[in-house]
Amino acid sequence: MIKDRSLSSLVIDIFVYGIATSVFVVTLFPFLNLISTSISGNMAVLTGKVGFLPVDVTFEAYGRVLSNWLIPNAFFNSVFYTITSSLYSVVITLMMAYPMAKKDFILRKPVWYMLVVTMYFSGGMIPTFLLVSEMGMIDSWASQVFPLAIAVGNLILMRIFINNVPAELEESAKLDGAQEVSVFFRIILPLIKPGIATITLYYALWKWNDFFNPMIYFSTYQKFPLTVILREIVLQGSNVDKFMTAAQMAQKDTEVFMEAYVTRLKDTALIVSMVPILLVFPVLQRYFIKGLNEGAVKG
């Protein structure tokens, strides 16, 4: 490929790279400020001296957050709910997408119409809560796994991937005596790995960031995921005293101390909550991008 070296092309490249760099800086600054605030001293935070770099570096907030049972327990809950829910949702999505991709499936159209309708209309929060309650899943981990297990958008994406698998491969396998289950596991699954990685990341991100469903279905505080605890700390300012030492409790009524301490605590808790996603996304990134491209172009 011959690269265009004309002046107009150079101007366009400079403009595009300039916009991309600006967006990167604007996006990166809040994240760096978040990290810097979490490891800066109280007075530096209170007086607004913290920018890109931390001031009066201290990891005291991280020590308080990680040594208290509240955050580690909620962190473990979030990991458990995310892994179990994502695995279940991916399996169910694949089990539904495979027959829906078959033109000879008799109920293909009526089932498909039923699925599409759910994208625009639903029973609502109260009927869903009553159903979950009648099934005995209130205050149980099952309430975070089984309800709302399938996203129709992810189902459509996997149906596209399965449709893109050449039919000749399945036909040749069946001529060799392979059954439908063998065809699915030995031929279909290896060829749709990018799609599986894509919907896995979608499901995991949704479940990791979900706080509304746990607030509805859980009544035991120890079962709350990290998102609910963060919401209470960040929006309501509650549970802050659980992270204070005796000396800090003595200063609790000091407005200056509380404002700085709560800010540092919020930012520290947010950093802790972002770590798993920051670790998982680079691993799935190449499959994720490939999945989006193939699903968009071939679909």
Question: Over the stretch 113-142, which tens digit does the pLDDT of each residue have?
Answer: 888 888 888 777 888 888 888 888 888 888
pLDDT in the model for residue 83: 92
Digit-coded pLDDT (tens) for 160-195 = 888 888 878 777 877 777 788 888 888 888 888 888
pLDDT in the model for residue 90: 94
Intervals of the chain under pLDDT 50: 1, 253, 297-299
pLDDT in the model for residue 2: 55
Distance, CA of 198 to CA of 229 (rounded, Å): 28
pLDDT in the model for residue 88: 94
The C-alpha angle with vertex 84 and arms to 81 and 85, in degrees rounded to 5, equals: 75
Q: Could you state, in order of their start, the residue ranges of all structural domains in the chain?
A: 60-298
pLDDT in the model for residue 298: 47
CATH 2.30.42.10 for domain 60-298, yes or no, is no
The pTM of the full predicted model, rounded to 2 decimals, is 0.76
